[in-house]
Amino acid sequence: MIGLLQNLVDAASLGSLYALAALGVGLLFGILRLVNFAHGDFISIGAYALIVPSFEVTAQLFIGTWSWWLMIPTITLIVVIVALISDALVFRPLRRASAPTLMIASFAVSYVIQTGILLVYGARPKAANLWAGLDTPLMVGDVRVPLLQVITIVATLVLMAALTLFLKRTRYGTMMRAAAEDFRMAQYLGVRGDFVIGLAFAISGVLATAVSLLYLSQTGTLSPTMGVPLALFAFVATVIGGMGSLLGAVVGGFVVGVVVIMLQAYLPADLRAFRDAFAFTFVILILLVRPSGIIRTRALVERV
């Protein structure tokens, strides 16, 4: 029983990360019909921006040593700028391109960013210790809950609430929802397409930064391809949730988190190395049962 509770806490914390990543992916998909492979690499950039560029195996924190109120905005700014640049250089010239073309383009952006990281920081994984103090466990009854997991879950809830308020209560949010539903019609009404898309890239950059920081402080390792499985799980979460729905992306993120943690906990030891393979297989199976996802909608944010 306690073991199960412990696993559920782990699942909620991991699911939060996937849900945040999936929100970033889902937002861009909703507005641009872009499956953004580079989202994982935005996450990597957020993590690598914390450390001193070098080929050393142990990463030395640079921006990472700043106090959090200065560090978080700085890293966010860096990731947002990278996201906006990739839009301006690659995706903006491809506005009229088909969905497969956009997908290939984002795959190329992703691979180029990975190569860029490799050029500056080397190919080997690095260890980094961000927010070491947050490992302290809190005891809730008999369940050990690391403070970091609490922070992860709370940060995710806060970000989700903020995003919902933004989308529902502000004029820019309303524009984004309109554009997600019928991009051309929104343009006919004077909504600037490039602006809305830029905004979506910026927000997905903010969400990616949150994942970078939380993920790095949980795992303590960096590698040029660290974002790939995150992006992949995020895609999978958006597909399970029903593509184009943000609520679906969140639900999908948590489903994936639960699946991964349960596999980790209950797979026989010699199969645990194949955890991700099992998780993806499971997802393909879910899609067989519900090809259009758990939630079917055209809306970016559901009406409650």
Bridge partners of 126? 222
Residue 69 burial class via C-beta count within 10 angstroms: exposed 0-12, middle 13-18, buried 19 and up:
exposed
CA angle (227, 231, 236) in 5-degree steps: 150
Residue 161 burial class via C-beta count within 10 angstroms: exposed 0-12, middle 13-18, buried 19 and up:
exposed
What Cα–Cα distance (Å) separates residue 148 from each residue in 59, 171, 201? Answer: 21, 35, 27
The continuous run of DSSP H or E covering 126 comes out as strand 126-127
Shortest Å distance, C-beta 129 to another protein: 26
Shortest Å distance, C-beta 148 to another protein: 26
Is 89 a residue that touches another protein (CB under 8 A)? yes
Sites for another protein among residues 163-202 (CB under 8 A): 171, 174-175, 177-178, 181-182, 184-193
How far apart CA 52 and CA 283 sit, in angstroms, is 38
Answer whether 89's CB lies under 8 Å from 81's CB. no
With CB under 8 A as the rule, give the number of residues binding another protein: 68
Is 291 a residue that touches another protein (CB under 8 A)? yes
Shortest Å distance, C-beta 229 to another protein: 7
- Stretch of 43-51, 54-62, 116-124, 147-155 contacting another protein, by CB under 8 A: 116-124
- Stretch of 206-214, 215-223, 256-264, 295-303 contacting another protein, by CB under 8 A: 295-303
- Positions that interact with another protein (CB under 8 A): 33, 35, 89-90, 93-94, 97, 99-101, 103-105, 107-109, 111-112, 114-116, 118-119, 171, 174-175, 177-178, 181-182, 184-193, 225, 228-229, 232, 235-236, 239, 243, 273-274, 276-277, 280-281, 283-285, 287-288, 291-292, 297-303
